[in-house]
Amino acid sequence: MKLIGSYTSPYVRKISVVLLEKGIAFEFVNDTPWEEATQVPDYNPLGKVPTLVTDDGSIWFDSPVIVGYLELLDIAPALVPRELKLALWERQVEALADGILDAAVLLVRERQRPAQQQSEAFLLRQRQKIARGLDWLEQQINDQNIESEPPRLGAIALGCAIGYLNFRRIAPGWCAERPLLVRLAGKLFERESFARTEPPMP
C-alpha cells in the first residue's frame, strides 16, 4: 500500500495516523502538489493529497474517503462505530476538525500574500471559524462525546487539526480557555502514531 502526500499536510497526517493505529504497512511517497514536478495529478485529477494506492492498484483520494476504505478492510481497531447513528456522529466530528483545518490552510495562504493585498475581513472570518470549532470540540469533550483512549476517528482528526494550528502558529492563544481540549490533544500527541507523523519544523 502506498500513501502519496507531503509531510506537512495535516490531511495526509490523519491517514498516516490511521494506518499506524491499525498496524497497516505502507510506503510513504513524499510529493508536494505545489511543486512543478509533482505527480499527484496522475493519481488524483484534483491534484490534491492524500492519495492512497492499494496493493491491487486501486486509487482512493480525499481523506474521509480513504478512511472509509480502510475501515472496510475490517482491521482492528475500528475507528468508526458499527451503529449507523454513532458512525454518523464520528464523521461529524471528523468534518468539524477538517473544517478547522480548511480555515487554517486558508489563513496560511492569505498571510503569504503581500500585506497590502491581504483581506482583514477574510482573515477574521477564518479565525472565527476556528474559534467556534474549537469551542464546539471543548463542549463535546466536556459532554464525554469525544475520548482519546482509545482514539476513534473524530479524536484523530481533532489531534491533526490542533497539531496543524501549533505547527503553523495559527491562533496561538487557542488553549487559554479550553483545558479539556488541551488535555485530550496532549494524550494524543503522546501516542506513537502521532509522534512518528509530527511534521518537520519549517
CB atoms within 10 A of CB 190: 10
The string of pLDDT tens digits covering residues 9-47 is 999 999 999 999 999 999 999 999 989 899 999 999 999
For residue 147, the model assigns a pLDDT of 85
Q: Which helix (H) or strand (E) holds 30?
A: strand 27-30
For residue 33, the model assigns a pLDDT of 92
Give domain status of residue 78, yes or no: no
Are both 88 and 182 inside the same structural domain? yes
Are both 101 and 140 inside the same structural domain? yes
Strand 51-53 versus strand 2-5 pairing type: antiparallel
Cis peptide before 77 (omega within 30 of 0): yes
Are both 67 and 92 inside the same structural domain? no
Amino acid at 135: D
The string of pLDDT tens digits covering residues 130-150 is 999 999 999 999 999 998 888
Q: Which helix (H) or strand (E) holds 60?
A: strand 59-61
Domain that residue 59 falls in = 2-72
Are both 112 and 180 inside the same structural domain? yes
For residue 202, the model assigns a pLDDT of 67
Confidence of residue 58 (pLDDT cuts 50, 70, 90): very high
Give domain status of residue 200, yes or no: no
Give domain status of residue 201, yes or no: no
Mean pLDDT of all residues in the chain? 96
* Cβ proximity of 117 and 57 under 8 Å: no
Kindly report the CA angle at 81 between 79 and 86, in degrees rounded to 5?
125
Are both 130 and 32 inside the same structural domain? no
